[in-house]
Structure 1
Amino acid sequence: MTARNYWIAGIAIMAATAIILLAMGRIPICECGYVRLWSPPADLAGNSQHIADWYSPSHFIHGLLFYAALWLLLRSRPLGSRALIALVIEAAWEIVENSPWIIDRYREATIAVGYTGDSVLNSVCDILFMLIGFLFAARMPVWFSVAIAIVLELLALWVIRDNLTLNVIMLVHPVDAIRTWQAG
């Protein structure tokens, strides 16, 4: 498969994801009617609705993790092939994450009481952040990818009292002490 074909397949995966999300009733962009490059932490209504927010680093870390896992499991496969597998996994997560079941789970198990799910724009951008993380990991030494993941996790923890690690913990097995701390 040529590099061009990998890109075409990747774009097709993202387009299919957007179509599925629209069919699920997800809004294309923020209900506010405009698109921001960055949604600050104080904008709770715009969270997960614009191009990037404080959860974008989590998707970048997904890319780092997917690269590591796929390198361990499928290192003989071309990078483009592994990137497409990572795209499919991330796209599937975006679809599941925006299902009523997961949205309700976030509302009941985390501090995201008013969470309504991602806009289609935000979901597609989350997939792109994952891909950037994946390609970053492919080009950088392992120690640097690990360091970046730690810095991003600590930064999000400091700014919004949430990150990928806490998100997974609270989604899988909520801890009251964490929820209380996150609520400030």
Structure 2
Amino acid sequence: MSRRFTILSTGITLAIAIAILLLMARPPLCTCGELGLWGPVGPKQSQMLTDWYSLSHFIHGFLFFGILWLVARRWPLRFRFLVALAVETAWEIAENTPLVIDRYREATAALGYSGDSIVNSVSDILMMALGFLAARKLPLWASILIVLLLELVPLLAIRDNLTLNVLMLVAPSDAILQWQAGA
């Protein structure tokens, strides 16, 4: 599998994601009319290019790299990358369905969550790709340290991170929800 094929496949995957998200009536940009680099906590979160949850998608890249190394290390790296890209893309599409958006609203601290803008979804997919490529180059100890840091920073800053997000989606806890709300 050549580098050109991998780049072309990545572009096609992103184009398919954009097309599906458009068909789902996701807004291409923030409905506020702005395109910013950072969406802080609040109505612009998940609408701008990046936000606190971009760190979670970067971590996805580390996790996908590690999992695919464990279960498919004989596969060419480019193929493992494309598998990770497909899984992340599928998640971005699923994450923006009414079912998942409603689940976030009822079970997590994301009370006013309305889904991602398309630019944010594409950025999330690319953040996973960057995480995957970083994991490929870094020693295991550095990867673990980065993942821990990227979990700790948003935990302290916004009382949320990938671990809590998954936990609250799968097994919501009133105690965690109250803590996240600052109670």
Q: CA deviation at 1:121?
A: 0.4
C-alpha distance in 1, partners of 2:82/2:148? 25
- Correspondence 1:29-178 to 2 at 5 A: 29-41=29-41, 44-178=42-176
SS at match of 1:30: coil
How far apart in 2 are the matches of 1:158 and 1:69?
27
What displacement does 1:40 show? 2.3
Percent identity of the aligned residues? 55
Quote the offset at 1:6 in angstroms.
Answer: 0.5
User: TM-score, normalized by length of structure 2?
Assistant: 0.98
The letter for the 2-side match of 1:24 is M
Measured in 1, the distance between the counterparts of 2:167 and 2:138 equals 28
Per-residue Cα deviation, 1:90-126 (whole angstroms, up to 9, x for no partner): 0000011000000000001112111000000000000
Query: Residue type matched to 1:153 in 2?
Result: E
Letter in 1 for 2:52: W
RMSD: 0.6
Q: Report whether the alignment pairs 1:11 with 2:11.
A: yes
Cα distance in 2 for residues equivalent to 1:97 and 1:40: 19
Q: TM-score, normalised by structure 1?
A: 0.97
Q: How many residues align?
A: 182
Spell out structure 1 runs of 4+ moving beyond 3 A. Answer: none
SS of residue matched to 2:51: coil
Tell me the distance in 1 between the aligned counterparts of 2:109 and 2:10.
34
